[in-house]
Amino acid sequence: MVNMKMKTLNQEEVMEGDYKGKRVDNGEWACGYLMDKNVICQGTTYDDYVDIVAVNPVLVKPETVSQWTGLRDKNKKKIYYNDVLKGENGKYWVVKKGKLAIHLKCVKWRGDECNEEYDIITYSKLLKRGGREFEDYFIVVGNIHDNPEFRR
80-118 pLDDT, tens digit each: 999 999 988 888 889 988 766 778 888 777 667 777 777
Task: Report yes or no: 41 and 33 within 8 Å, Cβ to Cβ.
Answer: yes
Q: H-type helices in the chain, by residue range?
A: 11-16, 120-129
Find, among 60, 62, 59, 107, the residue nearest to 83 by Cα.
107
pLDDT at 35: 83
pTM, full prediction:
0.75
What domains does the chain contain, in order, with CATH numbers?
Answer: 8-64 (no CATH), 68-150 (2.30.30.290)
- Gap between the Cα atoms of 107 and 109, Å rounded: 7
Confidence check: pLDDT of 9 > 90 = no
- Pick the more confident residue, 58 or 118: 58
Q: Strands 39-46 and 52-59, how do they pair? A: antiparallel
Read off φ and ψ for residue 25, nearest 5 degrees. Answer: -75, -35
Q: 78: closest CA among 65, 87, 68, 88?
A: 68
